[in-house]
Amino acid sequence: MEILILTIALTVLAIATAILAFRYRSWLSGNRGPLLLSAAAVFFVLAFLVLFYRTPGTDIGVEQPIPFSHRVHAGVKNIQCRYCHPYVDYSNNPGLPPVEKCLHCHNYIIANHPWIKEEHRYYNTRTPTPWRKANYLAEHVLFNHQRHIRRNLACKECHGQVERMDRIRGKYFYMQFCIQCHRRLNANLGCWLACHS
């Protein structure tokens, strides 16, 4: 949607520039013309780059140290979210699976895959896999999964269809996102004392 609006806005701007240039073409003679033209060219190239890099589909999510795929595990193999994120119902921190958990399966499944060997390296040197965070929440916000899951909110209400993503397309959770849903479901809106602490 915003891409469409941006594209239309840029097109209108381009046409307006062309019309203006035509009207004031006498003023544009001499050195000013080429200069303005270069400025316009630079502007449109920048605009194009912004558009290109923000087009949906080009944003495939942060690269991880091991190309772990939720699509393969949670989707194709239908492993339950809670098998790997077991604390989601009762802790502030849902937890990411430790290497041991991966190896429970991968000591037997595709055990010689180069990435599984990489997992063994982490295991043998006792280094936790340095997973990179995909989601961001402002530091002063207190978010608790438990309260939400008790009300039968599915993971995908907030995280999207993770079981169809190879890499997690994370997002920055803005306050607007929390408020919109709280309004829709009649949850506490006067809770900002509880959220901001």
Tokens of 10: 């840029």
What is the H or E stretch that residue 192 is in? helix 192-195
Tokens of 192: 């900002």
Tokens of 179: 């408020």
Question: Binding residues for ligand HEC, per CB under 6 A?
Answer: 64, 66-70, 72-74, 77, 79, 81, 83-85, 88, 93-94, 96-97, 101-102, 104-106, 109-110, 113, 115, 119, 131, 133-135, 137, 141, 143, 145, 147-151, 153, 155, 157-159, 162-163, 168, 170, 173, 177-178, 181-182, 185, 187-188, 191, 194-195
- Tell me how far apart the 2 most distant CA atoms of the chain are, in Å: 78
Minimum CB distance to ligand HEC, residue 126 (Å): 16
- 94/158 Cα distance (integer angstroms): 14
End-to-end CA distance of the chain: 35
Smaller CB separation from ligand HEC, 21 or 79: 79
Minimum CB distance to ligand HEC, residue 160 (Å): 9
Smaller CB separation from ligand HEC, 32 or 104: 104
